[in-house]
Structure formats: structure tokens, C-alpha cells
Amino acid sequence: MMGDRKLTKFEKKVCLVTGGSTGIGKAIALDFARKGANIVIASRNIDKSKMVCQEFHELGYRAIAIRTDITQENDVKNLINQIIKVYGKLDIAVNNAGVSSMGKTIDLTEEDWDLNMNVNAKGVFFSCKYEAKIMVKQGFGKIINIASMGSKRGIPLLSHYCASKYAVIGFSKTLALELAPYKINVNCVCPGLVKTDMQKREIAWEAKLRNVSLDKVIQEYINMTPLGRLEEPEDVAKLVLFLASPESDFMTGQAINITGGIETN
């Protein structure tokens, strides 16, 4: 018996998490692992991914790491081929890998724009394309794309990021319609102000751009959130696991907020 867990609805399921070596992705992967799934962590940082897998192994959970740059189609194709070679199926895909940068639109460079669009939008396209190919053959599967509250509202200093995340929702809603006949669910999760290393970088950028203190930015984030605290990666993971479970079988094409009450348009 692995760890102290009991058999669950995710026992023997194969779950892919892109960007699963840190932050939200790691929390999602760990929650699935606790519930019995076979975890595949895909990330450009293979050393960090292997370290996370070792942590999971020490807890008695099953996980493998596969180096993947989701902006490269051949990398994604190879990732899915390796999963099928090892496990023979793919039950759940969580497309979480993402990036951000900050700046006023008039100061953004082409490189700023391309970085966000390539990872956040094109990377989701490549991932879903090859995940869907396998799931269509299987006749089942769950795809969960991690978007953002910036998928539904404008945020100053993040126009390029918001554009890339708006694309994720539009793409996912269309894919959901295309895959519905094959009993494949496609949904998005839209987190708010999540306490991650990415958020730390964003707080530092924002403080510098606005010429205010780090503490002031953090307090403003908390004040924006009606539930009165920064979001934790584990908050996001709970919603992802619901969308991967049988309880969500009649949900598809949805973009669900988990923002602590921050309103979106």
C-alpha cells in the first residue's frame, strides 16, 4: 500500500501536469498523487521535475518526469508518445505551464508579447492537440486548462498576458464542442492572486513599475480579495480535481473562477 491513502476514484488513472514542478502545477500533481493517480510531470526544468518526483516517491506515490518545452510541437508529440509507451493511456491532462511578464503596453517589446503568447496560448494548443488525439482514440478523457482571472478582465501592466489567457478560454470552449462527441470534457480554471514564485516576481515588478513598496502591493492584493487572503495553490488544485472527477462528467466548455470573490467581467 502506498502512503496512507485508500483506494479512490483516481486509482490507476494517468494524469499529466505540464509545469508540474512548481507552484500551482506541483500542488495539483501532489493532490492527484495522494488520490492514487500515476503522475507525469512535464517541464522544461527536468532537474527540478525529477526532484519533485523523488519527493513523491518518498511519500509512496507514483510519478515520472519528462522534459518538455510546450512551445515546441515535437517536444509535445514526444511527451504524449512516451506516456502511451509507459502507461498505454492518458486519462487526465492538466495544462498548467505558463509565464508572465509586466509592463505598460506602450513599453512592451515584441519579445514580451511573443513569450506570453508562445507559452500561454500556443503551448496550450500544442498540448491539447496531442492529448486530444489520444483521448479521441480512447473515447474518454478530461482536459483542464489553467487560465486566469486575467482571461476575463483587463489588468494594468498585463495586456500581453491577458491577451494570451483570453485565447486559452476561446480555444478551450471551441475544443470542448469538437471533443464532446467523444465523451471528452474540456474546461478551464481561472485562478486569482495565487501565492507562487511567479506572483513574487510579479509583485517585485509591479512595485518597481509603480514606485511603491512590496508590502503595499501585497496588501492591495489582499484588499482586492473579498475572502481576505492571498490564494494558495492548493485552492486551485481542489477545483482541478473536481473537474477531473466523475462528478463533473456533464460539465464541458466552462471557465470557472476561483478568485476568492474577485469579480471578473
Mean pLDDT score, 170-178: 98
pLDDT of residue 1: 40
pLDDT of residue 180: 98
- Residues of the chain with pLDDT > 90: what percent? 92
Is residue 219 domain-resident?
A: no
CA angle 66–70–75, rounded 5-degree value? 60
Number of domains in the chain: 1
Is residue 4 domain-resident?
A: no
Q: Minimum mean pLDDT among 93-102, 107-116, 205-214, 235-244: which range?
A: 205-214
210/262 Cα distance (integer angstroms): 22
pLDDT of residue 167: 98
The CATH number assigned to the domain holding 35 equals 3.40.50.720
The single residue of 161, 166, 182, 221 carrying the catalytic annotation is 161
Q: Is the pLDDT of residue 152 over 70?
A: yes
Domain of 54, in residue numbers:
14-192+232-258
pLDDT of residue 127: 98
Is residue 198 domain-resident?
A: no
Is residue 134 domain-resident?
A: yes
Is residue 7 domain-resident?
A: no
Q: Is the pLDDT of residue 139 over 50?
A: yes
In tens, the pLDDT along 107-133 reads 999 999 999 999 999 999 999 999 999
pLDDT of residue 179: 98
Mean pLDDT of the chain: 95
In tens, the pLDDT along 29-54 reads 999 999 999 999 999 999 999 999 99
- Residues of the chain with pLDDT > 70: what percent? 97
Is residue 211 domain-resident?
A: no
Catalytic site residue 221? no
pLDDT of residue 265: 73
Within the chain, strands assigned E span 14-18, 38-43, 63-67, 92-95, 141-146, 184-191, 255-258
Is residue 209 domain-resident?
A: no
Q: Is the pLDDT of residue 5 over 90?
A: no
pLDDT of residue 198: 86
Mean pLDDT score, 50-77: 97
CA distances from 138 to 17, 82, 88, 91, 158 (A): 19, 16, 10, 9, 39
Q: How confident is the model at residue 3 (pLDDT cuts 50, 70, 90)?
A: very low
3 grid coordinates: 502512503
Q: Which residues contact 8 (CB under 8 A, 6 or more apart)?
A: 35, 36
Q: Is the pLDDT of residue 95 over 70?
A: yes
Is residue 202 domain-resident?
A: no
